[in-house]
């Protein structure tokens, strides 16, 4: 596997699970790719692997004790928590995840997690009942909401002889996830190199006659920001845009369309691709009759417009048997019951994830420069903080690069 483009450093927390032996292989992979690894061994972790093994493989001192006088004088725990580009917890036991979710700080690992300002990647490992327990589910939902990225667990046989979800991701998978996050953090450079993205953005205009049309309030800002972030991440981007007042993203291909039907045809022509992101606010209806001439005001009073449904582009792409993109992302702009409606949309459209936005007037998303995204997947939901649309786009692209790598089993 290719080394990360910009080798950096990892703080690896090894928790107490039989899967700890796999972390030795992970260190070997990281070191082979030129990534520096400092390890923290929890008390329980020390029951499964020795500090000597970790030190030999990482070529670095292993940290075990919060109250070690020598460690504190050499490098305080606060400094240690911020010394790497990424904190990785592997294995992430139910106990470690629970502590992190609740902000406990009663040993070195949990204190570091609380003190760190770096992204955190967790590779859970536990018995399947522990993984499925409502307490663990709650903790993981909270951690996701706090921005923790998860890799695995996988389904399979466990050391206890039982089988199910809870087996730690393989070292290669964790390595791929680390690489994606690290590359992503380097302004997403290269995270999507060689990948093709198709993004729809803006409103559609549905003509009533040659001078009038039906439209909506979409500014296209978020879709354009996503296209820019994808270009920055190295992707080959086709942006299919409705009428907006924005400059085309440098380095991307822009196809300007007006109506939903034109947008559907342009998307179709742009496929196949790896990721399809439907950020456009497509008009649900168009006027049934095609008025070639301007409708005149007259004695007959206002015209009666009969509306017919437009094609659903997102559902159409999601339902494709051939050339279905590996990842399909829909948007749900809702003014109430955000998650409930987003989840229904996920099922109805058949896409892989929904980015839900609160567009109630109080939220100020429509036409504004900020956005609060909630990522809704079949496994759960992650609420991101309020971010500028560019930052939200970058975070979404980083997240999608990671998911794509996981799907492709890179």
User: Footprint of ligand C5P on this chain (CB under 6 A)?
Assistant: 200, 260, 278, 280, 282, 310, 312-314, 330-332, 345
Q: Is 160 a catalytic residue?
A: yes
Note whether 353 and 399 are within 8 A (CB).
Answer: no
Pick the closest to residue 339 from 388, 385, 375 (CA basis): 375
Q: Which of 140, 160, 273, 351 is catalytic?
A: 160
Pick the closest to residue 345 from 359, 335, 334 (CA basis): 334
Output 85 or 312, the one with its CB closest to ligand C5P. Answer: 312
Longest dimension (CA), the chain: 93
Output 151 or 280, the one with its CB closest to ligand C5P. Answer: 280
Output 178 or 328, the one with its CB closest to ligand C5P. Answer: 328
Output 53 or 310, the one with its CB closest to ligand C5P. Answer: 310
Q: What backbone phi and psi angles, to 5 degrees, belong to 224?
A: -65, -40
Minimum Å gap between C-beta 240 and ligand C5P is 10
Q: Which residue has the tokens 């301007």?
A: 294
Minimum Å gap between C-beta 381 and ligand C5P is 16
Q: Which two tokens stand for residue 68?
A: 């070690």
Note whether 168 and 91 are within 8 A (CB).
Answer: yes
DSSP string, 327-375: EEEEEEEESS-HHHHHHHHHHHHT-SEEEEEE-SGGG--TTSSEEEEEE
Minimum Å gap between C-beta 335 and ligand C5P is 12
Minimum Å gap between C-beta 246 and ligand C5P is 17
Q: What backbone phi and psi angles, to 5 degrees, belong to 77?
A: -65, -30
Q: State how far the Cα of 174 lies from the Cα of 29, in Å rounded to an integer.
A: 10
Minimum Å gap between C-beta 188 and ligand C5P is 22
Output 136 or 222, the one with its CB closest to ligand C5P. Answer: 222
Angle, in degrees to the nearest 10, between helices 221-232 and 389-408 = 50
Q: Which two tokens stand for residue 173?
A: 């998978």
> Which residues participate in catalysis according to the annotation?
160
């Amino acid at each position: 596997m290719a080394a990360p483009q910009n080798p950096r450093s990892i703080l690896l927390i090894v928790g107490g699970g039989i899967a700890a032996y796999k972390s030795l292989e992970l260190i070997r992979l990281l070191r082979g790719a030129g990534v520096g690894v400092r390890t923290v061994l929890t008390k329980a972790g020390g029951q499964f692997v020795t500090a000597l093994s970790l030190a030999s493989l990482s070529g670095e001192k292993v940290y075990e004790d919060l109250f070690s006088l020598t460690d504190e004088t050499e490098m305080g725990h606060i400094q240690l928590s911020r010394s790497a580009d990424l904190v990785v917890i592997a294995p992430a036991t139910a106990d470690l995840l629970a502590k992190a979710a609740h902000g406990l700080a009663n040993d070195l690992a949990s204190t570091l997690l609380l003190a760190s300002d770096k992204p955190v990647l967790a590779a859970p490992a536990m018995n399947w009942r522990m993984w499925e327990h409502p307490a663990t589910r709650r903790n993981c939902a909270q951690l996701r909401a706090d921005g923790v990225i998860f890799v695995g667990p996988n389904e399979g046989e466990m050391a206890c002889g039982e089988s199910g979800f809870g087996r730690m991701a393989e070292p290669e998978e964790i390595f791929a996830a680390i690489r994606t996050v690290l590359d992503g953090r380097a302004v997403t450079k290269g995270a999507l190199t060689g990948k093709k993205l198709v993004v729809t953005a803006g409103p559609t205009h549905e003509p009533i006659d040659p001078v009038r049309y039906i439209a909506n309030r979409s500014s296209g800002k978020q879709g354009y920001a996503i296209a820019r972030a994808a270009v920055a991440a190295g992707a080959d981007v086709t942006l299919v845009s409705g009428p907006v007042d924005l400059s085309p993203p440098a380095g991307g291909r822009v196809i300007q369309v007006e109506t939903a039907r034109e947008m559907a045809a342009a998307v179709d022509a742009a496929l196949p691709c790896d990721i399809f992101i439907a950020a456009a606010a497509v008009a649900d209806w168009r006027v049934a009759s095609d008025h070639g001439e301007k409708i005149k005001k007259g004695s007959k009073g206002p015209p009666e417009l009969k509306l017919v449904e437009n094609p659903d582009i997102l559902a159409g792409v999601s339902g494709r048997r051939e050339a279905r993109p590996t990842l399909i992302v829909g948007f749900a702009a809702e003014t109430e019951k955000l998650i409930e409606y987003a989840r229904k949309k996920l099922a109805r459209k058949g896409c892989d994830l929904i980015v839900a936005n609160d567009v109630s007037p109080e939220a100020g998303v429509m036409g504004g420069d900020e956005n609060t995204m909630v990522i809704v997947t079949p496994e759960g939901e992650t609420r991101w903080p309020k971010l500028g649309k560019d930052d939200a786009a970058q975070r979404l692209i980083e997240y999608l690069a990671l998911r794509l790598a996981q799907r492709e089993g890179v």
